[in-house]
Structure formats: structure tokens, C-alpha cells
Amino acid sequence: MHSSVIFMGVSGCGKSSLAAAVAQAEGAPLIEGDDFHSPANRDKMSRGVALTDADRDGWLTALASELRNAPQGGVVLSCSALKRAYRERLRSAAPGLRFVFLDIPRDAALARVAGRGNHFFSAGLVDSQFATLESPVGEPGVLRVDAQAPLAQLQADVSRWLQDDHAA
């Protein structure tokens, strides 16, 4: 890898799974964005209360710090990054930052989240995530993938894209 990459999209799209597969394949450090949510944010989400921009501020600050302090070659980070303003804030922390947008239909995301079991994110929040999502398609350094494709295929496609110096 030549720079850091964020795996983004709504809850249930497979950010964590694909990020882990790519990090392993690329030998890059993996950062799970959910680990940086405050206890208050986790509590809100578990109760089905959507986070506000103010709620996400500290979380985005922490993730930007992780990106700024990334080793040479970058890191793999999973983060919803639903709004362009969030992505711009993260881009300002890491020149050359790339995004992999896991695009998934609402019903598929809802089924995945509902099937998770003991996860802090309430299935009732899937609709709010789709309402908040500002598609990154057309922004620089973004690869859109079909989140329902097989994981091995997605990992291979993303790894190939990351190795392409002209993709950013």
C-alpha cells in the first residue's frame, strides 16, 4: 500500500470484514473505527438513537489522529464516513487517503445488522444511516464495490486497486 485507506458505508455493509481481509493481505495495520466510539455514543446507538454531528466530533478527531500518526505505507481503517464533511476531515489528516465504499441495498444491510446478535448497533438505526449517507462516488480516491460480492473477490479487487499508483 502507498497510503491509508478507509472502508466506509452504512452499518452491515461489511466494512470490518473487508478491512480485516485487506489489512491481512497487504500486511498493513488494521484500525477498527468502532473501537473509538465513546461509551455515551455506544449507549445511544444500542438504544436506537442516531448519532448527531456533535456526537461524532470526538470520534472523528480520534480517527484523524490515528491517520496522522500512521506508519509509512499507511493503515487500513473501518469507519462509516457517511457524510462528505466527515471524509474531508479525515482526508485533511492523511494526504493521499483513499476510500472503499461498500455499497449495499437497505434490505441486505438490515438483514445483516439484525443477524449480528450481541452488537451495540441497533438494527433500528439502519434507515437513519441510509438517510445520512452522502455517496462518495465521484470523489477523488474512491472505489465503489458491491458489498454483496464474495469477500475473497472484494479483497482481491481492492488489493489490486491499492497497488495502482494512478487510482488515487
Residue 34 forms part of a structural domain = yes
47 belongs to a structural domain: yes
Q: What's the rounded Cα separation, in Å, for the pair 9 and 21?
A: 16
Predicted local distance difference test score (pLDDT) of residue 165: 59
Residue 168 lies in a domain: no
pLDDT above 60: residue 116: yes
- What pTM, to 2 d.p., does this model score? 0.91
Sheet harboring 30-32: ordered strands across?
30-32, 76-78, 5-8, 98-103, 142-146
User: What CATH number does the domain containing 51 carry?
Assistant: 3.40.50.300
pLDDT tens, position by position, 85-112 = 999 999 999 989 999 999 999 999 988 8
Which structural domain, as residue segments, surrounds residue 115?
5-163
- Residue 117 domain-assigned? yes
pLDDT tens digits, 42-85: 888 777 788 889 999 999 999 999 999 999 989 999 999 999 99
Q: What is the pLDDT of residue 120?
A: 53
